[in-house]
Amino acid sequence: MLITQVKPGVLEAGCDEAGRGCLAGPVYAAAVILPFNYTNKWLDDSKKISEKVRNELRLEIESVAVSWAVGICNPREIEKINILHASILAMHKALDLLNIEPAHIAVDGNKFKPYKNIKHQTVVKGDGKYLNIAAASILAKTHRDECMQDLHQEFPVYDWNKNKGYPTKAHRAAIREYGSTDHHRKTFRLLPEQLMLFDKKDFPPNPE
């Protein structure tokens, strides 16, 4: 079972992101403050858990958390400052939205920029070690998946309801055939051969 938080006895926010490796869609990040000594045997790294269990855990986390929030950086922000900085900015946005300021921040991975004057600690694979980071990974993942499901209704040919914007063969085949949308990250290698693609602002959602 995972440990509740990195620094025991203080109000600590766990942070994680989702969507960093995608070709399309925003990057999401979450910040979660759990009650002291909170336990949950099912809570773990979101990548290790089925979609059904993730959605159930989302309801649990949002119900029991002392405070939680989600931050978003859209594709234009990602293109402007790069995906690493956008991921960190999304975490800062999530921290801004918490209704309680944490005394410490625990971040999944090994990169972070100081937030205000609050001490932080990065933890490689922290979403598989600490519950508050795992909770943040669940919220970031489920909220982003929900966003991609909505975008799929507008652009069904890209299969975003299944691939969530990640570079699958089906996703890249659709880009090759129909071009990119405003939701694609134009600074990413959309196709292996790095073809220049026309923007399809008036792209028909259901081409005949």
| Both structure tokens of 4 | 């509740």
pLDDT digits (tens, 9 = 90+) for 70-79: 999 999 999 9
pLDDT digits (tens, 9 = 90+) for 115-127: 999 999 999 999 9
Interacting residues of 181 by C-beta distance below 8 A, sequence separation 6+? 24, 155, 158, 199, 200, 201, 203
Provide, rounded to the nearest whole percent, the portion of the chain with pLDDT above 90. Answer: 88
Mark 109-126 as b/e (b = at least 16 C-beta within 10 Å). beebeebeeeebeebeeb
Sorting pLDDT into bands at 50, 70 and 90, what band is 7?
Answer: very high
Query: Residue 127: what residue type?
Result: D
Q: Is the pLDDT of residue 137 over 80?
A: yes
| Both structure tokens of 193 | 């051969």
CB 34 within 8 A of CB 106: no
Average pLDDT estimate for 95-117: 98
pLDDT digits (tens, 9 = 90+) for 162-201: 999 999 999 999 999 999 999 999 999 898 765 444 444 4
The full set of domains in the chain, from first to last, is 12-151 (3.30.420.10)
Residue 197's nearest CA partner among 176, 173, 172 is 176
Q: What is the pTM of this model?
A: 0.91
Average pLDDT estimate for 55-63: 98
